[in-house]
Amino acid sequence: MHKLTNDRMKWGVMALLAGMLLGGNVLPGARPWSYWAAKNRGKNADLRRAVLVSAPLAKADLFGANLAGADLRGADLSQAYLDGANLAGSDLGGANLTRAIMGAAELQGASLYHTDLRGANLEGADLRGVNLSMVLGLKNAYLEGAHYDELTDWPDDFEPVKHGASLDK
């Protein structure tokens, strides 16, 4: 009986490792290959539709990364370098983007519900059509040159032009 249990355990561990190596979703809410690529090879990486829920990506270099449609809910992207990243249609709900550098980032259609942007640099970012009404720390974000349109939803007491954002017509 002991050998049978031992063999099952070995096969279980091997199946888990094989799934991780092949990028399968063997752990709920996690895609190990996507996480590894984002953390270690994030610069200009193609991470479209990646599942990175609650991923610890603080200070990650994601310059120019394509994260369109990615699931980044609850991810820690504090101080991450997302300059020129494509985050269009991604879900950043509850993500921590404090002091992240997101200059010229594409955020059209991204979900930012309860995303923390305290001290984030969004210089030149594309915020057209983005709902920012429930974002945390927006008054402490740097928005100089960020673009928005009439579909961008701001908090009631927020004046984007006074914070350096410009309306595209």
Q: Tell me: the pLDDT tens digits for 111-128?
A: 999 999 999 999 999 999
Question: Percent of the chain beyond pLDDT 70?
Answer: 77
- The model carries a pTM of 0.80
Element (H, E) at 12: helix 2-21
Q: What is the mean pLDDT of residues 30-46?
A: 71
> Which of these, 156, 99, 92, 95, lies nearest to 127 by C-alpha position?
92
Cα–Cα–Cα angle for 14, 19, 22, nearest 5°? 125
Q: Which of 29-38, 40-49, 108-117 has the lowest mean pLDDT?
A: 29-38
- Can you list the positions of beta strands (E) in 5-155? 147-148
Q: Tell me: the pLDDT tens digits for 120-154?
A: 999 999 999 999 999 999 999 999 999 999 999 99
**Residue holding tokens 């915020």?**
127
Q: What is the pLDDT of residue 24?
A: 47
Q: What is the mean pLDDT of residues 76-91?
A: 97
Q: What is the pLDDT of residue 73?
A: 96
Compute the Cα dihedral for 165, 107, 32, 22 and give only its sign: negative
Q: What is the pLDDT of residue 169?
A: 82
**What distance in Å separates the CA atoms of residue 1 and residue 10, rounded to the nearest whole number?**
14
Q: What is the pLDDT of residue 27?
A: 43
Q: What is residue 53's three-state secondary structure?
A: coil
Compute the Cα dihedral for 133, 108, 127, 97 and give only its sign: positive
The model's confidence at residue 159, banded by pLDDT at 50, 70 and 90, is: very high
Cα end-to-end distance, the chain, whole Å: 73
Q: Does residue 23 carry a pLDDT above 80?
A: no
Q: What is the pLDDT of residue 42?
A: 81
